[in-house]
Chains A and B, each alone.
Chain A
Amino acid sequence: MTHVSLTVNGEQHEADVEPRTLLVYFLREDLGLTGTNVGCDTSSCGACTVHLDGESVKSCTVLAVQADGREVTTIEAMATDGELSPLQDAFHRHHGLQCGYCTPGMIMAASSFLKENPAPTEEEVREALEGNLCRCTGYQNIVESILDAAGQPSGARA
C-alpha cells in the first residue's frame, strides 16, 4: 500500500492505495464519486475524463499514486448548489446527451478545452473531442452544446 494525499473537488483526502490502483477506481470506489465512468480498457473512449491540476486526463490511464499531491476535479464538482454550469446547461438545452454514459467525460474534456480555446470553431471543437467517444448522439448536438457554451454560433468557422 502506498499513501496518497490529494485534493478532490476542493476536499483534501488521505488514503492508502495499492500501487496498481487506477485513479478512476480510487475516485469511484474509495471516494464514492461514481459520476466518472469506465467505458474501455485502452484509454480510447474518454468516459473517465477528469481534470488533474486543471487539465483533462483519462483517469483510467493515471494511477492514483500519480495524483499524489495534486488537485483532481470530477463531474460532481461542475454544478454549483444544484445549478448546472453553463456547459452542462448547454448540453441540456441542445440535447447533447442521450444515455449519458459518455457525458461526464465529454463535459470534463470540453470544459478544459474551452479554457484553452474560449472561442473555438466547429472544426476545433470536433478535434478537441477526438478522444471522447459517444455512440448515441452522432456528436452533432454535443458540438452545438460546446459552441453555444462558448458563445460561438452554430457551425462556427475560422
Chain B
Amino acid sequence: MVATERFIGQPVLRKEDPDLLTGQARYIDDWTMPGMVWMAMVRPPYVHATIDGIDTSAAAALPGVVAVYTADDLGLGALPFVWPITEDIKVPVHHALSNDKIRFAGDAVAVVVAETREQAVDAAETVAVRATELPAVTDLEAAAADGAPLIHEDLGTNVTVHWVHGGGGDQGVFDTAPVIVTERYVQPRLIPNAIEPRGCLAYGVQSMGEYTLVSSTQIPHIVKVTLSGVTGIPEQSLRVIAPDVGGGFGSKLNVYAEEALALGIAKKLGRPVKWIEERGENYVATIHGRGVLHDVTLAADEDGKLLGMKFVELADMGAYYQLLTPGIPELGGWVYMGPYDPQAYWYEFRGVVTNTTPTDAYRGAGRPEATYVVERGMDALARKVGKDPAEIRRINLHPPFDEATPFICGLSVDSGNFEPLLDKALELVGYDAMRAEQQARRDRGDAKQLGIGLSTYIEMCGLAPSNILGALRYAAGGWDGATIECLPLGEVILKTGTSPHGQGHETSWAQIVADGLGVDPDKVTVLHGDTMITPLGMDTYGSRSLSVGGVAIHFAMEKVKEKARTIAAHELEVAEDDLEWSDGSFRVKGAPEKARTIPEVALSAWHAHALPDGVEPSLHATAVYDPKNFTWPSGAHACVVEVDTETGRTEIVKYVAVDDCGTVINPMIVEGQVHGGVAQGVAEALYEEAIYDEAGNLMTSSMTQYLIPSAVEIPRMITDNSQETPSSTNPLGVKGIGEAGTIASPPAVINAVVDAVSHLGVTEVGKPASPERVWRAIREARGGEGGSA
C-alpha cells in the first residue's frame, strides 16, 4: 500500500455488530411479503427405493393448500453441477424433485405450497408415496465393491470418478526407500450445522418475467447464473440477494433444489414463495462434508527425511453430485506435501456414490482431509524412526522463500517461512516442560496421561486463478470485482463481489479503502450480496474473499487515484508527476501544504465545473481482479490433552495456533476466524460424526444426537498471527485465514490423543476420538477385549 497505514493492521471494531446485537438484522426468515405462500418439501421415509406412484390428492384438499407439485409439473432443468473434474467422469442426473427413485433421505419427490408455514408442513405429511424399497448402501467400501446395489443404474457403477494427480519425482522411492510407513486413516462424514438453517424467498412480476430470489447463501452470483439455466428465467431478469446470512461453512456454497423450486413456483403462481429449512431437514438435505478414507505411504531415509509421499483416497460423494462434489477431494490434491519438501509425490482418489446426503465443501474442503493424513503420517514416521514429532517436522520443512516457488505438487507456492512458526508454537505450548510432565506421569503410571500433538500445515486458498480453474475443468472463473464510488459529500461506497456471512467484510474492506483513499472507515459503506447492486462477483468461500475480492479493492482504488491525480494536478496547476500521494492526500512535491484529498477531488468531479479536458465527471472506478496464483497460508498448531486411561475421556489442556496468513488487515477478526476454525476442528477430532445404521438411516439426525460442542467442550485457545510473510501473489500481501484453524487442528488433537497413550502401544484411536474409541484402543493395545469401534 502506498498510503500511510492508519487502519490496516488495527483491531477496528466491526461495523456489522450493532444490527446483529440488537435484533435488527434481517436473516431470510425475517423476510415476508404480501400474498406470500409457503413451500414444504415431501421427503419420503426411504433412503433407497423405486417410486411406484405419488398421490397428492389428500394434500391438495387440505385447507390453505394452494398447489402440490411433482417432478414434471414445473419444467425445471437439472440442478447445477459445475466441476466435472475428468473427461470420463460419470455424472448422476440430479433433479430438484425425483421421479424415478429415492436415493437418499433428503431426496424430495413433491412440494406442497400453502398459505401458511404450518399448513404447508402438515399437508406435506399427507402426500402418499408408494415405493419399492431397495437395499441401501451407505458404507464407502461396500458401495465401491463389485455387486453393490447401484445408486444410479444408468451409470453402471457406484465408482463414478477416478482422478489421478499422478506424481512428481521418482516414484521408485516407494519401493526402495530405507523407511516405508503405511497407514490407513478414516475420516467420517461431518454435518456442517450453520446455526441458521437454509431458506429462501422467491418473488417476481409474471407479466414482466422478472424475478428475485432472496436466499441464505454464500454465493448469490453463482446462484444467479446457474438458476437462470435451471429455471429458464433469462439472466438479466433474475436477481439474487443474500441477506444477513447466519453462517455457512461451505454448506451454503451451493445451489439447492429448494431455491430452484421456489423460483419455479413463484413463476408459475405469480405469488411470493418462501421456504425455511427445519433443522431435521438440514441434517439430511443440506450437504455433508468429509467422508473419506486414505491409504498413506511415506518413504523416508533412516533419519526420517522424507523421500516420497503417496496418498490413495476413497471419497464418499453421496447420492448425487451437488455443485462441486468431486472437486472437493481434488482441491485437497494439491497440499498432500504439506509444508515439506519430499522428492516424490502421488495422489489419486476414487469418488463413490452412496445412499447418503451429497458431500461438498465443508470448511477447508479437501485440505483438512489432506492435512489430517499428512500430519498423522508424520507422527507415524516419527515413531518409526524414533524421533520426536517436532524434530521429524523440523528436518522436513521446506526452506524459506519469498517468491513463488515450485512445489512437488505441481503448483508454485507464493511464499513461506515455516520453521519459525513451529518454533513459536513449541515455545507457546511450553513443549519441553510438557514433555517432562508427560514423562513424569508415565513414570508414575498415572491414570490421566498427557499427550502433545503437533500439526504443521500449508493450505492453498484464494480461489483462484481462472486459467488454472479452467485447466481443472471447473466451469467458472476465480476472479472478483470491486467498484468504488466517491460521493460528493465525502462518503465512499464500495461494492464488493464477495458475500460475507460472519467474516466482517464490511469492516475489513472499509479499513482497506480508508487507508487507500485517506478517509475514515466510518465514511466507507460496503455493499455486498445483491447481484443487482454488485453484479461483478464470485462470492465467498475457500478463504478467497480478502485475497481476491480484497485485492480487487486495491486495484479499483488505483484507478480512482489515477483519475484523482489528474484532477488534483489540474486544480493545483502542476504536472501530475509533481504530485505525490502522502499522508492521505495528493501533495505537491516540495510544497506539501498544497494538496487535494480524495473527498475534495470527489466534489470537483461531481460538480464538474472545471475538469481538465477529456476527464469525465464523477470519481468512481471498477476493477476486476483475477489472481495469478493461489495464496498459501501456513502455520503450526500444538495441542496438549489429558487422556483418562480408565475411561478413555480426552480433555484439551492447552491449544496453541500459530498461523501466518500474510498481511493482517484486522487482527481481531483474524483471531476470531482462528478461534472458530479451531473449534470446528476440535469438534471434528473429538465429537462430531454422521452415523448411519445398516438400513441406511442417519442416526445422528438432530442436534441432540450429533455432538456439536458447547462452550464447555471447546478449550481456551492461544493464537499468534504475528508472522506476516507477504504473499507474492498480490500487492496487499494477503493470504486468507477462514479455514486455517479447521485444516490444522484435527491432526493436532488426534496426534495428542495418540501420543498420550502411545507408551501403552496405541498407534490409532480413530476419529472422532470418543471416550469409547480411546478406551477400546487402550484395551486392545493392552491385549484385552475391545477392538476399535
Contact = CB atoms under 8 A, between A and B. Distances in A.
Interface of A: 18, 20, 28, 33-42, 44-45, 47, 74-76, 78-79, 84, 88, 91-93, 95, 97-104, 107, 122, 125-127, 129-143, 155
B675 interface: yes
Interface of B: 11, 13-14, 16-27, 29-30, 118, 193-197, 244-247, 249, 278-280, 501-504, 668-669, 671-672, 675-680, 702-704, 708, 710-712, 714, 716-717, 741
Given A100-B16, A126-B712, A141 B22 contact: no
5 contacts: A35-B24, A95-B672, A127-B712, A137-B672, A138-B741
Given A47-B195, A142-B711, A155-B716, A97 B279 contact: no
Contact of B23 (A75, A130, A155): A75
A11 to B, nearest CB: 15
Given A39-B279, A40-B279, A140-B716, A135 B703 contact: no
Contacts of A135: 193-195, 247, 249, 676, 680, 708
A107 B23 CA distance: 10
Choose among B22, B23, B680 the residue with the greatest number of A CB atoms under 10 Å from its CB: B23
A59 to B, nearest CB: 13
Given A41-B280, A42-B704, A139-B679, A99 B22 contact: no
B702 A40 contact: yes
Contacts of B29: 28, 34, 37-38
Contacts of B712: 126-127, 129-130
Contacts of B244: 99-100
Contacts of B27: 34, 37, 101
A84 B21 contact: yes
Contact of A136 (B279, B676, B702): B676
Contacts of B680: 135, 138
Contact of A133 (B20, B278, B710): B710
Given A133-B710, A135-B708, 9 more contacts: A36-B23, A39-B197, A42-B279, A47-B196, A78-B22, A95-B14, A97-B20, A136-B247, A139-B675
Contacts of B279: 39-42, 45
Contacts of B13: 92-93, 95
Given A45-B195, A99-B246, A35 B22 contact: yes
A98 B503 contact: yes
Nearest to B673: A98
A95 B676 contact: no
Contact of B504 (A39, A98, A125): A98
Contact of A99 (B245, B669, B704): B245
Contacts of B17: 91-92, 97, 100
A40 to B, nearest CB: 4
B711 A139 contact: yes
A65 to B, nearest CB: 16
B714 A101 contact: no
A67 to B, nearest CB: 18
B21 A92 contact: yes
Contacts of A99: 20, 194-196, 244-247, 501-502
Contact of B676 (A39, A91, A138): A138
Contacts of A101: 27, 194-196, 246-247
Contact of B675 (A75, A127, A138): A138
A42 B702 contact: yes
Contact of B196 (A34, A39, A78, A139): A39
Nearest to B21: A88
Contacts of A44: 702-704, 708
A20 B25 CA distance: 27
A127 B14 CA distance: 27
Choose among B16, B17, B18 the residue with the greatest number of A CB atoms under 10 Å from its CB: B17
B21 A37 contact: no
A84 B30 CA distance: 22
Contacts of B679: 137-139
A20 B118 CA distance: 10
A34 B708 CA distance: 25
A122 B196 CA distance: 27
A77 to B, nearest CB: 9
Contacts of A104: 23
Nearest to B192: A135
B711 A76 contact: no
A36 B710 CA distance: 20
Nearest to B17: A92
A107 to B, nearest CB: 7
Nearest to B246: A101
A140 B20 contact: no
Nearest to A87: B21
A45 B711 contact: no
B20 A103 contact: yes
A75 B18 CA distance: 12
Given A101-B27, A103-B21, A37 B246 contact: yes
B503 A76 contact: no
Given A33-B23, A129-B711, A95 B18 contact: no
B675 A137 contact: yes
Contacts of B20: 97, 99-100, 103
> What 9 A-B pairs come out closest when comparing CB atoms?
A35-B23, A100-B20, A101-B246, A99-B502, A138-B679, A44-B703, A138-B675, A98-B502, A75-B23
B22 A140 contact: no
